[in-house]
Structure 1
Amino acid sequence: MKRVKTKIALACLAALISTPTLAQETGTVQGLLTDNSQTSYFAGAQLHIKELGVSAVSRRDGSFRFANVPAGNYTLVVQYLGVDSIELPITISSGQTLEKTVVLAANQADLENIVIYGQRAGQAAALNQQRAADSIKSIVAAEAIGQFPDQNAAEALQRLPGLSIERDQGEGRFVGIRGIDPNLNSVTINGLNVPSPEAGVRSVALDVIPSELIQGLEVSKSVTSDMDADSIGGSINVVSLSAFDRKGDSASLTVQASQNELREETSPKVSGSYTTVLNDTFGVAAALSYFDRSFGSDNIESNGDDEIEQRYYSISRERIGGALNFDFRPDMNNQYYLRTMYSKFTDDEFRLGNVFVFDGEDSEVERASKDREESQTILSLTGGGEHQLNDWLVTYQLGYSKATEDESDSLYYTFVGEEMAIDSDMLGQIPVVTQDAAVMDLANYELDEVSLEGGYSQDIESSVKFDVTRFLELAGHSVELKFGAKYRAREKQTTADILIFDGDFDDINPEMFATATPDWGLGDFGPGLNRADMRDYFKQNRNSLEVAELDSEIESNGASFTNNEDITALYMMAKIDMDNLRIVGGLRYENTDFSTSGMRVELIENEQTDVEEVVNTPWGSERSYDYLLPSLNMRYEFSDNLIARFAYTQTISRPKFEDAAAFQIIESKTEEDDGEFVTEREASVGNPELKPFEAENIDFTLEYYPGDIGVLSAGYFYKNIDNFVIIADVAGTVGWEGFEEVMQPINGEKATVSGVELAWVKTFDNGLLLSTNATLSDSEAVTLFDGERYETNLPNQSDKVGNVTVGYENELVSLRLTLSYKSENLEEIDGDLIRMEDAHQQLDFMGKYFINKNMYVYFNGINLNDEPFYHYFDKRSVNAQYEEYGRTFELGFNWKL
């Protein structure tokens, strides 16, 4: 393995050393792109030296650079969507650097509108960066994040073409790109990989990150070789604010109150930011955000056969986030930075549930409660530098990130009433349960089980990255050669601590905990249970309750494991501009050392030997694998307005941690049957030998920019995915002989995804803004069902995803009405039923009134159409889950300096 790495590194070095020396003396031009007041900078502007046909793009701080420019007199052309292009004469001297501050579109009223007001600013910034990108990207600029009533990064991304979100309690949580499982996306903060706080998964719940801490969001749908390879769906980069995004000092403050219609709770929110640049060289940026949201949901679920559950949720979610960033720029050729971000998300949930099990005269009802508080944190620390050394650019980065999920002392009560008179036809989105007065009386129930559950998950990643870029001219064409290396060390640890109490309940009467009937809007719920009383009783009487030792042990040990992943990457790539064609191609090599350790936990119940025990056996596994992955991105400008892009890439995605973890939960029961003792064995196990998903990706897009702030685009994408992971019954295979059932993740055959993306954005001179996008896709996957090959769609793959936005803005008001739509999709195969998620469409409104250029008040309406969340089995008339959240209204004030 070391020999392969050495050969690749030497090949990269040889390619650089062998480049020809420049044929003539050259100079450099660099500078800043700013506005009339020289307080705002413009990212994504395209700059050209007309006579040479070379181009550059302004960065987020407005800076640009041309290297290796032959001495002489030239014309610098600057293009930025929304304003007229400008031309400036420049003179390049041999061996000298020309520093130029370019004031974009001086004295143009259009530019003032772009800088001051949100809708046009957000659209202009995002579209300019998208147009100038080397790969296929969608971007949300900082100004645009505040143009929707979005609470977090996930909800801000749902407005982009091809992106959809998975919701939890009505809030956006996970982001899917073109319908691909969020576990197959890469998420970074300032280029640093973000670990997942949740146990067992790779997907990052972006609702942990408050939108106020974000300077921008970048979604790469095609990768380049200098990006991490684990991004079959795509790569999402969260960009935090920097003091050099603006000149001088800036500050902002937002104060808000919101109310959820369903629970009639009022929730406070406050956020602020401050940036300053000292002596034009040292910048500090800080941001804080606090949001305590109280809300709830009404839910009814079924198994599609003989069971219905009513659920009442009362929820409080607290988000605390902060960022503190430092930049030191002694000159335009040297930069140092330190980026920090911390976010804590606390979810406090109380749930009441009624479970109706229909079995004629033997029907029973469970009345249960869930009292849980869970906190998730993400800490991201990134430091690095950038140095321009004549024709060389050297960058490096050190990173540390840590994500945790802590759930301690979650308390569950289950009361059971037997031989209940209940009935239902199990039909309809909201199935009706017929029950008599006895079912509603807590005196007819007995405590069956109490459990105290805790869990802790920790995901830590450290990384180091080093890149070198050489700028040169070959045959009259501008060329960039780049090579680099990256090392990532990651540890994912999950532990569970579960205690189940199943005895000594004689003194407990459910009526001790009775409280008023919850305001549940889907039918008759019956008496409630008091959260505080149940918690207090358990604390006072815990030592007198009987613990189910075996059940507690198997539940705890079977859900605990540790995974380690060390990834070493080397890459080389080249970018060449040939008139109107830009080609970016390269190779990336990634080697992965993977190890996992856990427990083989077997519950043995043997009537013949009168043995009842749990046997715990440590288990571990390790393996290594590597990949060599090519990438090709091509960009062709038919004109300043029409751009075509093509990409061919190969990417991978490593399996979910819980799928590849070393754990086995086995149940062995030996019972007498017709005079003979028969042993039946079942198991649920991980698979450390799982191979990563492997994908070939093809993308083609056409983008038309009419010259103002707008774009009309169409694209085609295709993904061929091998080693698709499925859950299968492997009983009877090698190692599992004699088992009745063994559920294990295995690599399936393949899956394919193809589709088109369409988008149209247009701003009009009269202040009207229109934005619409749609993604139409199709997928096929092979899975196993009852031991046979079964062809279906990819889970969570909606064949239609889209957004429509209508907005209006002038000097006094800014209005936006937006509709997001996601068609039905396959959720999972549940037993012998196919579980589907119904189509979801949600209407949101945002309105602002500008008091002056620095202050405005706003009003947001979320889920105005009161759209529920609905799952069904096979047919829409067979309920799997129906949940209502109600509307939410927000009133706030914003001040900016």
Structure 2
Amino acid sequence: MFFDIGTRALATTIAGIVVTVPAIAQSAGSEVTDEPAASIVVVGARLQSERAVEAKRDIAVVSDSVTGDEAGSLPDFGLGEALDRVPGVSTIQNNARGEAQFITIRGLNADYNLVEVDGVALPTTELGRRNVSLDVIPSALAKRVDVYKTRTPAMDGNAIGGTVNLISRSAFDHKGLFIGGRANAGWYENERDYSDTTPSGLADLTVTNRFGSQNEFGIVLAGSYFRRDSSSLNSSGDNFLFYDEQGRRLSNANAGEYAIAAPNRRRWWTYDNLRQRYGGLAKLEYRGATLQADVTYGDFRHENDEQRQSNSLYVSGDPSVRTPTGGFAPRATAQADLAEFFEKRRISYVNGRLIWRPSDLASLRLGASNAVARYTNDSYLDTYRTVTTDALAYDYIADGLSYQQFTPRNPAYYYNPANYRLVEHGNNLDENRERAFSATIDYDFNQGTNARGVGFAVGGKYRQIDRFYDFVNGLFAPVQAANNLLTGLVSPVQVQPYNGNGDYIIAIDRAAAEARFAANRSNYVEAANSKSANLASDYDLQEHVAAGYMLMSYRDDRFNLSAGARYEHTDLLTGSNTQVGTVWSYERRGQTYDDVLPSLNLSYDVSDTFRVRAAASRSIGRPNYDLLAARQRITEGAASLSITGGNPDLRPRRANNYDVSLEYYFAPRSVLAAAVFAKEINDEIVTLVSTRVEGTGDDEITIRTSQPVNSGRVTIRGIELSVALPNLAIVHPILDGFGVTGNMTFLDGTPLSIEMTDGTMRRLPGLVEQADRIANVTAFYTSNRFSAQVAYNYKSSTLIQISTSATALDRSLDESHVLDAQLRFAITPRISLIAQAKNLTNNRPTRLTGPFQELLREEIDNGRGYFAGVNFRF
């Protein structure tokens, strides 16, 4: 079924609005207006909708926006959550645990998109990807966030999907002193299990002021703190075995429609998380008659303190009884794991801009920025395991999309800590640092919103990235005589999963386990692969991009045309370790490439209310950093050679982009829009595993290579529909104060065909991290003192991992339905009480696997969240 109930209802709602709007516009007349009464202070969803419509109309490219309100805040806690409301945009959660981390624009995952603050690209805290973690950036620091879906030559070319630009607040948004913010206390229904739960909450504060004899100077000080103290539970069936109707084991590659799937491992995870995000921004501004300047310092941080407990029970060999709904495993192994992660992400930057306007038509802009992103993860782990024994025989129930139940026949053995022995202890440290410096110069003539006639713009940009990644691995394994048991180390806390059928998780006490290991240190030696792990992961990279552009434009009262091209020259140098046998050596590799990126944007106002836009452009998508690092391992066998690693010769993806949009501004600050688009992406990047035989006779050798390569072409087509009706008084006066915004995106992609391990070709089922259908609707009401809103977000299933050995090992994220709500009551025109509820639908991110993605692999319960507090502005 193409739509489920929720999406179908949203489609019907938007379709009804599409049919009704023209009649509304014709009957509205000059007396009907959605301007608020003088006593109403417009805030919340209504004001955000009105400002987003204004931004869409003013921006020269195809775009959508999310804005702040007069309380100094966006409607959501993180930048990623706020962007989830934008047409054509969806997000990827941080390990599916409730925080939007990466942005997907028009079905293209974060690898294709660019994130900027005030037009400056941010460095990334991620270990190998170019993605910026949106959960690091507080949304409240933004005046507005624009999502550019088409581009001009003045914009960075490394954005096939689109560009997200956070526009920071300005002192010149207000006449004088402004103070705004919010303070909320929060509670998550999934409290921490193994530590005392501490308060959750949020506090934002923005202060701006102007000074000087002509109020020509301005200052902005903004800060934000967010704290989430909660837990998540992951019920996971990590793997499946497949059998035919005669009970014969099938390989993963041969598992088809009629195969019987038997889960061979049940794994429960609990995550106790304390997440904190805090950041600040300081800006000094000057605006004179012909000169404008500002200097901004921003510092954003995100910390995650996570304790992860997990238990596994898995069959040895084959289950002896197998049916489509259950079976029996005669021998099994059990395992208990403890892992703790102390993650820190930080982005800090200084940005300076100078604008000189020698005339009303001309401006010269200079800018420079220096930014640093850091990531550290100090982790601890212990693994305790039983022997494989028939004492752990279990029955299981499994019917595909329901979570499987494993019931040990001898629970006394399963829960006895004396049967578990330590097999691995470790402390690992990940460190990543990226520095990005950029400098820009731009000159434009007759390019303003009110310009008429011919204009032009020229400019240049230089950007330098320096990054390094270091992994320190400290794993220890027991010597043969070691006998460190779990006895005396089990936490008294017994967590029963909601789908655990009465069973509970065996949890390890961290302090006691660490003390036991220290007391028996002589019984353990460093793991044999510890040195290899340290050297294999490390790399460094330097990337230099020099760019220049030129565009010409023409504008009259109805027509606006701009065309031009951007040239980018890229120098790349990477360094990493290569292993041949047992010998490691460091080597550096480099490449240079050039790109010419033309673009065309035009718009035509058919009438005062109806606008047509069209755009065509070329853009690139540079490979991720970890794919560019060679980090090669060459392992020689008796008659074989295995080569695995990255590829410093990877070319960037190159895409041709086409857009047409229709915008109907049928009433004040209201819009009905439809856009169609297509992207043709060449040199897509996939990791291929290939096998070839060289030589003959005694000299014959089998060479197996695993390496990312440029391969094939991807085509994406899509439709976006959106509507914004900030006040339904244009429908009927009785609806004064009610409003609605909604959008839907439909994507149709032609994915790659890739070579499988056995040499056959396979057409992928979709693009990675692409949802084919995205929908949002927000309904709200604003009166003199009271306002309320509910926001619904839908995403269809999303492919998240591709296997080159068997389609049955692919993984996808099931469709999601999330409902949030907010209530406000104005005590005074400038102080409001606010209450919010997050994830009222209790959406549990669900990952699927199997030949047709019909088997439930894991389901993560994050629970609901509730917040209450005060918003203020003075």
TM-score for the superposition, normalised by structure 2: 0.85
Give the match for residue 650 of structure 1: 618
SS at match of 1:513: coil
Aligned with 1:232: secondary structure? coil
- How big is the shift at 1:811? 1.4
Partner of 1:253: 181
8 Å CA contact 2:72–2:181 kept in 1: the answer is no
- Deviation (angstroms), 1:451: 1.6
2:112 matches 1:152: no
Structure 1 moving runs of 4+ over 6 Å: 144-148
Structure 2: how far apart are the matches of 1:542 and 1:183? Answer: 46
Mapped contact 2:67–2:74 kept (Cα < 8 A): no
Q: 1:308 to 1:111 in 2, by over 3 A?
A: same
Aligned twin of 1:751: 714
Partner of 1:691: 651
Shift of 1:388: 0.4
Note closer, same or farther for the CA distance 1:165–1:418 as it changes in structure 2 (3 Å cut): same
**Counterpart secondary structure, 2:529:** helix
Q: Is the 8 A contact 1:367 1:416 kept in 2?
A: no
Q: 1:149 to 1:863 in 2, by over 3 A?
A: farther
Counterpart in the other structure of 1:328 = 286
Q: Distance in 2 between matches of 1:299 and 1:373?
A: 20
AA partner of residue 372 (structure 2): K
Per the alignment, residue 560 of structure 1 pairs with 538
Counterpart mapping for 1:214-293 below 5 A? 214-263=142-191, 265=197, 266-279=199-212, 280-293=215-228
Higher relative contact order (CA 8 A, sep 6+): 2
Is 1:341 aligned to 2:298, yes or no?
yes
**Which AA in structure 2 matches 1:711?**
V
**Alpha-carbon shift at residue 114 of structure 1 (Å):** 8.2
Q: Within 2, Cα distance between the matches of 1:145 and 1:732? A: 64
Give the 3 Å change call, closer, same or farther, for CA 144–685 of structure 1 in structure 2. farther
Pick the structure with more strand per residue: 1
Distance in 1 (CA, whole Å) between partners of 2:836 and 2:693 is 57
Q: Return the offset for 1:576.
A: 1.1
* Aligned residue in 1 for 2:728: 764
Matches within 5 A, 1:508-527: 508-515=484-491, 516-523=493-500, 524-527=503-506
Contact 2:311 2:506 in 1 (8 A): no
Aligned 8 A contact 1:477 1:578 in 2: yes
> In 2 relative to 1, CA 131–253 (structure 1 residues): closer, same or farther, beyond 3 Å?
closer
Pick from 339, 348, 373 the counterpart of residue 403 of structure 1: 373
Which residue pairs with 1:389 in the alignment?
A: 358
Matching residue within 745, 752, 769 for 1:796: 769
1:249–1:597 CA distance, 2 compared to 1 (3 A): same
Which deviates further from its counterpart, 483-492 or 359-368? 359-368
Q: 1:894 to 1:621 in 2, by over 3 A?
A: same
Structure 1 window deviating more from structure 2 (828-837 vs 793-802): it is 828-837
5 Å matches for 1:614-653? 614-653=582-621
Are 2:271 and 1:313 equivalent residues in the alignment? yes
Deviation at residue 519 of structure 1 after TM alignment:
4.1
Q: Output the CA distance in 1 between the equivalents of 2:489 and 2:29.
A: 71
**Superposition deviation, residue 318 in structure 1:** 0.8
- The answer for the alignment partner of 1:28 in structure 2 is none
Partner of 1:135: 61
Specify the alignment match of 1:294 in structure 2: 229
In structure 2, the CA distance between the partners of 1:144 and 1:534, relative to structure 1 (3 Å rule), is farther
Instruction: Rate the CA distance shift 1:453–1:423 in 2: closer, same or farther, 3 A.
Output: farther
Taking only aligned residues, the RMSD between alpha carbons, in angstroms, comes to: 2.5
User: Contact (CA 8 Å) 1:821, 1:841: kept in 2 or not?
Assistant: yes
Structure 1 contact 371–412 (Cα < 8 Å) conserved: no
Distance (whole Å) between structure 1 residues aligned to residue 40 and residue 456 of structure 2: 36
Letter of the 1:593 partner, please give it. D
Find the counterpart in structure 1 of residue 794 from structure 2.
Answer: 821
**In 2, Cα distance between equivalents of 1:251 and 1:392:** 35
| Amino acid corresponding to residue 814 of structure 1 in structure 2 | S
**Residues 748-776 of structure 1, C-alpha deviations (whole Å, 9 max, x = no match):** 11101101000011122310011110001
| Mapped partners of 2:614, 2:40: distance in 1 | 31
Name structure 2 gaps, 5 residues minimum: 1-27, 242-263, 318-329, 730-735
Give the paired residue count: 773
Matched with 1:418 is 388
Inter-CA distance 624–554: structure 2 relative to 1 (3 Å threshold)? same
Secondary structure of the residue aligned to 2:405 is: coil
1:784 matched to 2:777? The reply is no
Question: What's the counterpart of residue 326 of structure 2?
Answer: none
Tell me how far apart the structure 2 counterparts of residues 526 and 270 of structure 1 sit (CA, whole Å). 35
One-letter amino acid matched to 2:791: T
Matches within 5 A, 1:350-499: 350-360=307-317, 361-390=330-359, 391-419=361-389, 420-428=392-400, 429-435=402-408, 436-437=410-411, 438-471=413-446, 477-499=452-474
Q: Name which of structure 1's ranges 803-812 and 429-438 shifts more when overlaid on structure 2.
A: 429-438
CA contact (8 A) 2:680 2:714 kept: yes
Q: Which runs of 5+ in 1 are unaligned?
A: 1-82, 86-106, 605-613, 671-677
Deviation at 1:795, TM superposition (A): 1.2
Give the residue type in structure 2 aligned to 1:303: N
**What is the alpha-carbon distance in structure 2 between the residues aligned to residue 462 and residue 350 of structure 1?**
36
Instruction: Kindly provide the CA deviation profile for residues 812-835 of structure 1, in whole angstroms up to 9, marking residues without a partner as x.
Output: 111111110000122222341232
Partner residue of 2:509 out of 520, 530, 533: 530
Deviation at 1:252, TM superposition (A): 1.9
Work out the CA distance in 1 between the residues paired with 2:701 and 2:537: 24
Distance of 2:93 and 2:219 partners within structure 1: 35
The structure-2 alpha-carbon separation of the partners of 1:284 and 1:472, relative to structure 1 and needing over 3 Å to count, comes to closer
Q: Which residue of 2 aligns with 1:6?
A: none
Distance 1:723 1:180 in 2: 15
Q: Which amino acid aligns with 2:367?
A: Q
Aligned equivalent of 1:59: none
Q: Report the AA paired with residue 826 of structure 1.
A: L
* Alpha-carbon distance in 2 for matches of 1:616, 1:519: 47
Give the structure-1-normalised TM-score: 0.83
**Does residue 895 of structure 1 match 2:828?**
no
